[in-house]
Structure 1
């Protein structure tokens, strides 16, 4: 199962304790921050947070306050995250690298946590946040050294779709199996990046990361093709097989392993959710041509045989292969 939802509420604490607890909570999530309730006599704040694979999902509400990540504390290795914030109530003011951005309900703000910044909320605010490790974004063509804070609308279009997905993922996070959480996290990152891609803010179109992203997309589109191979991929992308091997090996996986793991993840998801299909139907629909080979690699990947997943999800129904 995925992580539980954890809660911190500063209500009822002494004012100095409220500030310290809030600072500690932010530190645990994404790095050290100074917290200032400004002229208020207390800091009434609440955070619910959970994880989906390596993503951190948060629902945050707080009375007036200022948080600051100062230049003297900036060490990128301590803050290797990009934060994607959806404002749902109140107004906040963000400052980074001389830029000043007003954040209203319905706005989405994406920014690099490793750069010094300040967020001022002069009255009660509420927002939902996804904290994404930069390493996950690099795999999708993200350029962490070139990103500027980006404000987008979450009221319509891809921004609205991204927000709805985040909200749903938080609500269902505790019900996800470990393998499903990985798939949800991958999908969530791709959906979150849709509005950023449209803004053309943070992606390299010609470098190795861009080629890796294109290779991933091609593989996903042709995953059911049993003839999918590195020859087919390199021809479609106009690059050499050697270059493709290099792109994947730098990320600790071969092209072939990436394909088979992606197929196995999809097979497991269908076995868990689609009762009307036999194990053989599922395996063959995702490019496997041998039932015995599928069962063997499935067990190697997940530690259980396909029939165990099938029976567990569908009340002991008989299956055609183990």
Structure 2
């Protein structure tokens, strides 16, 4: 591209391949960047290298989102600063982190950068790891342990994935998700019995989300264990049970705001266990970057 058009091309290309982003306009002359974008089943793999820049995803960009996604960002060269969900990190070469497309985020590149981004439907991740929304912006080393296994797989996937026959893409993507979950799930000393027990708790919660009284004590009574055991099981997974219930209720409300466009916001909130509409609106905005009414209107 001619030098005067290079940065504007980059601004458009970022939004075309990484969801919508707001990169400020500027006159930078030469701007070096390159992309490789591949669709891979339900996922997308983006490789890019570029000169220093910065940008953000705010309410206008989030409102254009068609399907909630998680981005898995892996740095090959350079470093990137990120801010989301009240956390600020600097991601170095050889490390990776998870970010959430439904929440505001800022990024900055102080120098030249090379990276791989794996975009995944949120449902595919949370089905395997329900506490994934609480694990964003946690740097993970891709140079040792479980992180190294995933990083090696991701580099190979970015290099060879586009050439795989379509019939192989789904099973390879499932293996990719399994490796990702193994890499980002907090370490916990638990066996098959504890994992099965936590799965029973999650099933009970999802079947009773509309009960305003739902909490650790009610769950413990239904499962036949103590409330203390319930708290310990969920804390080992990296998130409290109360917070997990809160996230599941917000997600159900988000889905129903679109599925029932004529229902009152308060009606939907009360149906999914919220007892105060003002509290619900604040919680929804904190989680998704817009109020429930703005979310529905923008869709």
Normalised-by-shorter TM-score class? 0.5 to 0.7
Q: For residue 137 of structure 2, what is the aligned residue in structure 1?
A: 149
1:257-311 Cα distance to aligned partner (Å, 9 max, x none): xxxxxxxxxxxxxxxxxxxxxxxxxxxxxxxxxxxxxxxxxxxxxxxxxxxxxxx
Query: Of residues 193, 202, 205 in structure 2, which corresponds to 1:207?
Result: 202
SS of aligned partner of 1:207: helix
Instruction: Please state how far the C-alpha of 1:39 moved relative to its aligned partner.
Output: 7.9
Q: For residue 78 of structure 2, what is the aligned residue in structure 1?
A: 90
Instruction: Please state how far the C-alpha of 1:166 moved relative to its aligned partner.
Output: 1.0
User: Does the aligned pair in 1 maintain the 2:20–2:62 contact within 8 Å?
Assistant: no
User: Does the aligned pair in 2 maintain the 1:51–1:57 contact within 8 Å?
Assistant: yes
1:208 and 1:29 map into 2 onto residues whose CA distance is 36
The change in CA–CA distance for 1:29 and 1:144 in structure 2 (over 3 A counts) is: farther
Q: For residue 181 of structure 2, what is the aligned residue in structure 1?
A: 193
Q: For residue 139 of structure 1, what is the aligned residue in structure 2?
A: 127
1:111-134 Cα distance to aligned partner (Å, 9 max, x none): 112211111001101111111111
SS of aligned partner of 1:198: coil
User: Are 1:101 and 2:89 counterparts?
Assistant: yes
Provide the alpha-carbon RMSD of the alignment.
2.8
Q: For residue 106 of structure 2, what is the aligned residue in structure 1?
A: 118
User: Does the aligned pair in 1 maintain the 2:129–2:181 contact within 8 Å?
Assistant: no
Query: Of residues 162, 171, 183 in structure 1, which corresponds to 2:150?
Result: 162
User: Are 1:47 and 2:42 counterparts?
Assistant: no
User: Does the aligned pair in 2 maintain the 1:83–1:129 contact within 8 Å?
Assistant: yes
SS of aligned partner of 1:150: coil
Q: For residue 26 of structure 1, what is the aligned residue in structure 2?
A: 14
Instruction: Please state how far the C-alpha of 1:79 moved relative to its aligned partner.
Output: 5.5
The change in CA–CA distance for 1:153 and 1:134 in structure 2 (over 3 A counts) is: same
Listed as ranges, the gaps of 5+ residues in structure 2 are 189-194, 207-299
2:157 and 2:25 map into 1 onto residues whose CA distance is 31
Instruction: Please state how far the C-alpha of 1:37 moved relative to its aligned partner.
Output: 7.3
Structure of larger gyration radius: 1
TM-score normalised by length of structure 1: 0.55
What aligned pairs does 1:238-249 form with structure 2 within 5 A after superposition?
none
Q: For residue 159 of structure 2, what is the aligned residue in structure 1?
A: 171
What aligned pairs does 1:232-311 form with structure 2 within 5 A after superposition?
none
Instruction: Please state how far the C-alpha of 1:165 moved relative to its aligned partner.
Output: 0.5
Aligned length: 197
User: Does the aligned pair in 2 maintain the 1:91–1:103 contact within 8 Å?
Assistant: yes
Instruction: Please state how far the C-alpha of 1:83 moved relative to its aligned partner.
Output: 0.7
1:180 and 1:164 map into 2 onto residues whose CA distance is 19
